[in-house]
A and B are shown apart, each in its own frame.
Chain A
Amino acid sequence: MLKENMAGFHYELYKNCLVIYITQDLDHHAVLSLRERSDRLIEAGDVKHVIFDFKDTGFMDSSGIGLLMGRYKKVMFIGGRACVTNVGSAVDRIFKISGLYKIIEKYDTPEDAIKALEVKYEDYI
């Protein structure tokens, strides 16, 4: 399993799920490095689904929305799904106002998301 820390974010690859642990405010500044690194991992590996974990951050603005939508579009083309986990109340409001939950699924923990994705994945096979 791939595990790495880059520029304040922690990435883990679990089977075909890339879990991105966001460990700082998700603003335009953070998005710049996060986008590049996550896309490289998505394109390099057999990544089908992306999970964004918000356990260690309490702030996100519209730049974060752009980042999530962009990654969603990337995995959507290969039949993948995008999830968010451990969403706190401030970030939850941003998701609700922006309508992001129409395309991105929310789970309690990354483990729950992986479970849900795998169930569907097995069904598909």
Chain B
Amino acid sequence: MKIIFESCSENEAFARTVVAAYITRLNPTLEELSDVKTAVSEAVTNCIIHGYENKKGDITMECTIHNNDISIIVEDYGKGIADIEKAMEPLYTTRPEWERSGMGFAFMEAFMDKLKVDSSPGKGTRVFMEKTIGVCEGQE
């Protein structure tokens, strides 16, 4: 599944709703569903605020289901990140004036099983996330 949408804040809810609908067939628990929705919300918000700095641009979201794994790629073609390691530090933000908490990547990391960030300044940022759904033992 691949969609391209505009970088406006209304599309944050749109993107996480699409992914939530897409993974329904994996029978996620409510907790897994909210984990994935939060991670997608963080990734898309980053594209809008940091990638495009609230200007117009395209965001691509690509999801694949393989067995019980959901992989999600969220990509923008905006500013890019010069120091990825620094950007991923919890509480670090380049936008304290907009009250950004600096928890975006930390949440993606906490709520998904895998997270990989590729970026080149001036070209854009690509976030890859993966999570296994519904195979924990002893789950209701």
Please name all residues of chain B whose beta carbon is closer than 8 Å to the beta carbon of A93 when the two chains form the complex. 31, 34
Evaluate contact between B9 and A28: CB separation under 8 angstroms.
yes
Evaluate contact between A97 and B34: CB separation under 8 angstroms.
no
* Min C-beta distance of A92 to chain B, whole Å: 11
Q: Is B99 engaged at the interface, CB distance under 8 Å to the other chain?
A: yes
Q: Which of A31, A32, A66 has the most CB of B within 10 A?
A: A66
B1-56 CB contacts (< 8 Å) to partner A: 9-10, 12-13, 30-31, 34, 37-38, 41-42, 45, 48-49
Please name all residues of chain B whose beta carbon is closer than 8 Å to the beta carbon of A28 when the two chains form the complex. 9, 12, 41, 45, 48-49
In Å, the complex CA distance between A93 and B10 comes to 24
Look across to chain A and name the residue whose beta carbon is closest to the beta carbon of B38: A61
Given A28-B45, A29-B10, A59-B99 contact (CB < 8 Å): no
Q: Is B84 engaged at the interface, CB distance under 8 Å to the other chain?
A: no
Against B, the Cβ 8 Å flags (1 = close, 0 = not) of A55-72 are 000110111011101100
Q: Is A90 engaged at the interface, CB distance under 8 Å to the other chain?
A: yes
Given A27-B45, A28-B45, A29-B12, A62-B107 contact (CB < 8 Å): yes
* Min C-beta distance of A48 to chain B, whole Å: 21
Given A27-B12, A58-B34, A35-B45 contact (CB < 8 Å): no
In Å, the complex CA distance between A98 and B38 comes to 13
Contact of A61 among B10, B45, B48, B99 (CB under 8 A): B45
In Å, the complex CA distance between A15 and B102 comes to 34
New A-B contacts (11) at CB < 8 Å, excluding given A63-B45, A93-B31, A93-B34? A27-B13, A27-B45, A28-B12, A62-B102, A62-B103, A69-B99, A89-B30, A89-B31, A90-B34, A94-B107, A98-B103
> Which 8 pairs between the two chains have the least Cβ-Cβ distance?
A29-B9, A62-B103, A66-B99, A90-B34, A66-B101, A65-B101, A61-B41, A70-B99
